[in-house]
Chains A and B, each alone.
Chain A
Amino acid sequence: MIHVRINGKLLEAKKGETVLQLAQRNGYHIPNLCYHPSLKADGACRMCLVEVKGANAKPNSLTTACTLTVKEGMEVLLDTPEVSKHRNTILEMLMALVPDSPVLTKMAEEYGLKEIRLAQGDEVCIKCGLCVRICDEVVGAKALAMEGRGTETTFNPPFNEPPERCVACTSCAFICPVQCIPVKKTNDSITIWGREFDRLKCTRCGRALDLTEEHMALMMTRSSHLKPEDLNVCDVCSRKEVLGTMKSLVDGQITLERVGK
């Protein structure tokens, strides 16, 4: 066990976990915009700043909690004046870049940031990179790209054209912390990144699924035991099937051995 203090309270940390994970596990809130438990930490947004003492930390060192691995004897302070000063500067820069985000506005209220002194941009993306990372690391479609550099960096499909490798899983839109990736859904189609996909229909009842042919194909290449029937039946129908099986079991019409067949 590793011992770490957060705001003076002694906590037991797991080897290899980050300060952000430890804090969250113990009910502390550290603001973050580019962290997601299923992705590698990237330290892109800098909102999760904390102050570190002990365990060979330099005096008054500020660092990102999402990339900081716990060490024996570490002391972490979450809300010092230093932390809040720098965090507000970062937030101010983000809000100058993306002025109309409800998510950022709410954060500004929470942390007492009153005024944006920088020139206002007209972007919607805070350049956190989560969309590209989830599409690469979790979905495996690798449909998006980080392009350009510095302040001109963009996160979108290659050359900002309708992405060939996209499967319309909508994970990127879901994970985007400022919800700036539009998804249009109709009963028949899903449109994302300027490309329209047909929605598959439940093979039992015909209800539209949140699934495309392309998404199903990708999932099946990624896990060999998946079969189309595992995916192309809607929730209602698969629940009915499970209930039906359970009922037959209870009624004694079938035995447990037969369930698997």
Chain B
Amino acid sequence: MDLAKVDQIVEKYGFDKNAVLAILQDIQVAYNYLPREAINKVSELLSLPLGQISSQATFFSSFSLTPRGEHIVTVCMGTACHVRGAPRVLSELERELKIDDGETTADGKFTIETVNCVGACALGPLVMVNGNYHGNIDTAEVSTLLSAYR
């Protein structure tokens, strides 16, 4: 694995021990997930015990420790979306892509993730693809939505 980007990112933050969170965020953007090698490298470059990094990397649900797909499909499971049918939308997505929540398709195209409320409750049920909001999603619209990214 090429870790040159990790070096650059850590350097960009001036090897600041307090910048772990920002560093991890940048790594996730660069690699689309947090590779274990990258986490070890951060620990080494900042001279911080691995545990001080792993505790942050595992705390936030926005971080992924496993490789993610090219397109991230995020289903809001917050209360408002839930009552408006988010569980049905999620099942439909899982059926269409033949993976469960948290998994990535074999071709590496899609990952399904869930979150709790993204602050757009009026649009529920809400699905985001690569950070773009798609509101009032009906189970029947799921396959059309996906086809745009297939």
CA distance A101 to B50 in the complex (A): 30
Q: Which residues of B contact A148 (CB under 8 A)?
A: 58-59
CA distance A148 to B50 in the complex (A): 14
CA distance A97 to B50 in the complex (A): 28
CA distance A209 to B89 in the complex (A): 61
Once the chains bind, are A145 and B51 in contact (CB under 8 Å)? yes
Is residue B5 within 8 Å, beta carbon to beta carbon, of the partner chain? no
Total interface residues on B, CB under 8 Å, equals: 10
Is residue B52 within 8 Å, beta carbon to beta carbon, of the partner chain? yes
Is residue B102 within 8 Å, beta carbon to beta carbon, of the partner chain? no
A154 to chain B minimum Cβ distance, whole angstroms, is 8
Chain A interface bracket (under 10, 10 to 19, 20 to 34, 35 or more): 10 to 19
Q: Chain A: which residue is nearest B43 at the CB level?
A: A158
The one of A143, A147, A165 in contact with B55, judged by C-beta atoms closer than 8 angstroms, is A147
Q: Chain B: which residue is nearest A142 at the CB level?
A: B49
B73 to chain A minimum Cβ distance, whole angstroms, is 23
B window 30-87: CB within 8 A of A: 36, 49-55, 58-59
Chain A interface main SS type: loop
Chain B interface main SS type: helix
Once the chains bind, are B52 and A145 in contact (CB under 8 Å)? yes
Once the chains bind, are B59 and A149 in contact (CB under 8 Å)? yes
Once the chains bind, are A158 and B50 in contact (CB under 8 Å)? yes
Is residue A146 within 8 Å, beta carbon to beta carbon, of the partner chain? yes
Q: Which residues of A contact B49 (CB under 8 A)?
A: 142-143, 145, 158, 165
CA distance A144 to B59 in the complex (A): 15
Once the chains bind, are B58 and A147 in contact (CB under 8 Å)? yes
Q: Which residues of A contact B55 (CB under 8 A)?
A: 145-147
Q: Which residues of A contact B53 (CB under 8 A)?
A: 158
Is residue A174 within 8 Å, beta carbon to beta carbon, of the partner chain? no
Q: Which residues of B contact A12 (CB under 8 A)?
A: none
Task: Give 1 or 0 for each of A116-159: 1 = CB within 8 Å of chain B CB.
Answer: 00000000000000001000000000111111110000000111
CA distance A159 to B52 in the complex (A): 11
Once the chains bind, are B54 and A158 in contact (CB under 8 Å)? yes
CA distance A132 to B36 in the complex (A): 21
Q: Which residues of B contact A159 (CB under 8 A)?
A: 36, 50, 54
Once the chains bind, are B50 and A145 in contact (CB under 8 Å)? yes
Q: Chain B: which residue is nearest A156 at the CB level?
A: B51
Is residue A164 within 8 Å, beta carbon to beta carbon, of the partner chain? yes
A160 to chain B minimum Cβ distance, whole angstroms, is 9
Q: Which residues of B contact A146 (CB under 8 A)?
A: 51, 55
User: Can you name 22 A-B residue pairings with CB atoms under 8 Å?
Assistant: A132-B51, A142-B49, A142-B51, A143-B49, A145-B49, A145-B51, A145-B52, A145-B54, A145-B55, A146-B55, A147-B58, A147-B59, A148-B58, A148-B59, A149-B58, A149-B59, A157-B51, A158-B49, A158-B51, A165-B49, A165-B50, A165-B51
Knowing that A145-B49, A146-B55, A159-B36 are A-B contacts, what are 18 other residue pairs whose CB atoms are under 8 Å apart, sorted by A's residue number?
A132-B51, A142-B49, A142-B52, A143-B51, A145-B50, A145-B52, A145-B54, A145-B55, A146-B51, A147-B58, A147-B59, A149-B58, A157-B51, A158-B49, A158-B51, A158-B54, A159-B50, A165-B51
